[in-house]
Structure 1
Amino acid sequence: MRIIITGATGMVGEGVLMACLQEPEITEILSVSRKPLQQSHPKLKEYLVSDFLDLDLGDPHLKGYDACFYCAGVSSLGMSEVDYSRITYDTTLHFAKALGPNPGMSFMYISGKGTDSTEKGSSMWARVKGKTENDLMKLPFKQAFGYRVGVLTPMPGQKHVLKYYSYLSWLIPLFNFLSSSLVCSLKEVAQSMIYLAKHGHPEHVIHVNEIKLLAKTHQGGA
């Protein structure tokens, strides 16, 4: 399997990349990002793009891949809806179209728990994420999936971990105890994405419990 990963210089993308590098069925990974990764691996290639909105539709660097794990994104904190939409919606949709959507490729998009599929709720970020999910699913991919992740635990040895995780990590076992639908690991995210790219799924919105189940199924070799 040959995959594209975006956002590998951030926490989510880095964790997904590290997990995918450990998977024997992944033969090639193309990291598309603004900054170099400062790491090397026989499976890993890099394509540096200063602004995804500048990508040409049908960019030849993005051809021939089986799936895209889109992990790039920003927090909406302190941002206007216009600015947040440009990064979250416009950039994501343009990147997806630059891939040349086709029935041989799957697209996995990290959205978030609470994303609003109706696009009409009071939460700005949830509306924008919902519209992004909805419009990705209209493109002619094999399938496009919205990943409604909650609290994410990093891969061992990650460099790009959000600062507040060092203060909240002791709470993660409590979150797990209170609800299994709150927490999953970035390894589980990556493994579930690989499974979906191979086998598909009847649902396009993937929640935490499903991420865990799909990852376990992948580990079992299904």
Structure 2
Amino acid sequence: MKLIISGATGFVAKEVIRQSLSRSEITSVVALARKPIAIPEKLADGADPSKLRSVVVKDYDHYSEEVKKEFAGASACIWTVAITPSKSKMYDFEEVKRICQTCTLAGFNAICESGVSKPFRFLYMSGATTERDQTKTPRFLPQYSLMRGDTENKVLALASGLDGVEACAAKPGFITAPGEILKSIAATMIQLTAGVPSISVVDLAKVMLDQVVNGFEKEPLTPEDLARIAKKLNSS
């Protein structure tokens, strides 16, 4: 299968790319970013770096016909482009919304217009605190959380109107990294205070790849779902 990974220079996307090059089911990896992507370091034995295709866009809200040709025939996309909650206060909200919502929908539309394989699976990486019910007022960054939840709604609505296209939101809590002690401590504190389980970037990438390759188990994929599926995959 041909897999598109957006935001390919990001923390999570780089791990998704690294693992995808080792999966035999994935024959081609389109790494979409605003600058060229290099072969990841520490590839597993048997990984095939020749599967990686770096595709550069000026921005994620505009796609040339040349770029759309690179999408053609894809079977899935893992969309990671976003401004995180911790960084959202550094930007004007309209810019945050453009990156998180406008670019997501533009990318999804461009991919579907390119002539994808069916079924096509679009996995949108969102977050644990997002709120789809626009009548509610979340406690945590309400404007941001509602906007991200609204983006989930719009992604699902777009998919529902397209034949052979499936969409799902992955909603991880705090994402940890191997060897980063401070992140592990922060994850523990968040779980104790907010009750939201964390997940390592390695496990998150593994789960997301499993879901686009084998089909979405459910929608959305909550932090608890992601942890459960990761545990199952790691024990198999």
- Deviation string 1:30-49 (CA, Å, 9 cap, x unpaired) is 10000122336222111000
Deviation larger for 29-38 or 211-220: 211-220
Q: Of the candidates 172, 177, 190, which is equivalent to residue 205 of structure 2? A: 190
Structure 2 match to 1:24: 24
Of 168, 176, 195 in structure 2, the residue corresponding to residue 145 of structure 1 is: 168
From 92, 105, 109, the counterpart of 2:120: 105
Deviation at 1:175, TM superposition (A): 5.6
Contact 1:119 1:126 in 2 (8 A): no
**Rounded Cα–Cα distance in structure 1 between residues aligned with 2:135 and 2:90:** 20
Separation in 2, partners of 1:87, 1:179: 27
- The offset of 1:18, in angstroms, is 1.8
How far is 1:182 from its partner? 1.8
State which of 148, 162, 165 in structure 2 corresponds to 1:129.
148
1:154 aligned residue (167, 177, 180): 177
Distance 1:67 1:13 in 2: 14
Change (3 A) 1:19 1:202: closer
Instruction: Supply the distance in 1 between the matched residues of 2:192 and 2:174 (Cα, whole angstroms).
Output: 13
Which residue type is aligned with residue 54 of structure 1? H
- The residue aligned with 2:43 is none
Question: Higher helix proportion, which one?
Answer: 2
Q: Deviations over 1:91-123 (max 9, x none)?
A: 100000001176421011111111011134441
**CA separation of 1:175/1:53 partners in 2, compared to 1, >3 Å: closer, same or farther?**
closer
Quote the Cα distance in structure 1 between the aligned partners of 2:152 and 2:231: 25
**Higher RCO (C-alpha under 8 Å, 6+ residues apart):** 1
The answer to whether residue 215 in structure 2 is matched with residue 200 in structure 1 is yes
Alpha-carbon distance in 1 for matches of 2:153, 2:188: 33
Are 1:53 and 2:61 counterparts? yes
Q: Does the 8 Å CA contact 1:36/1:48 hold for their aligned counterparts?
A: yes
Q: TM-score, normalised by structure 1?
A: 0.82
1: CA distance, partners of 2:146 / 2:61: 21
Seq. identity, % = 23
Query: Is this contact kept in 2: 1:191–1:214, CA < 8 A?
Result: no
Q: How many residues align?
A: 213
2:44 is aligned to none
Q: Distance in 2 between matches of 1:38 and 1:155?
A: 21
- 5+ residue gaps, structure 2, are 41-48
Instruction: Give the deviation of 1:130 after TM superposition.
Output: 0.8
Bigger CA drift: 12-21 or 127-136? 12-21
Instruction: Give the root-mean-square deviation of aligned CA atoms.
Output: 2.7
Q: Secondary structure at the match of 2:168?
A: strand
Question: Of 131, 134, 151, which aligns to 1:116?
Answer: 131
Query: How big is the shift at 1:173?
Result: 5.3
1:88 to 93, 97, 100: 100
Output the TM-score relative to the length of structure 2: 0.78
Residues 1:220 and 1:26: Cα distance change in structure 2 (over 3 Å): farther
**Structure 1 residue 194, shift from structure 2 partner:** 2.5
Secondary structure at the counterpart of residue 92 of structure 1: helix
Q: SS where residue 18 of structure 1 aligns?
A: helix
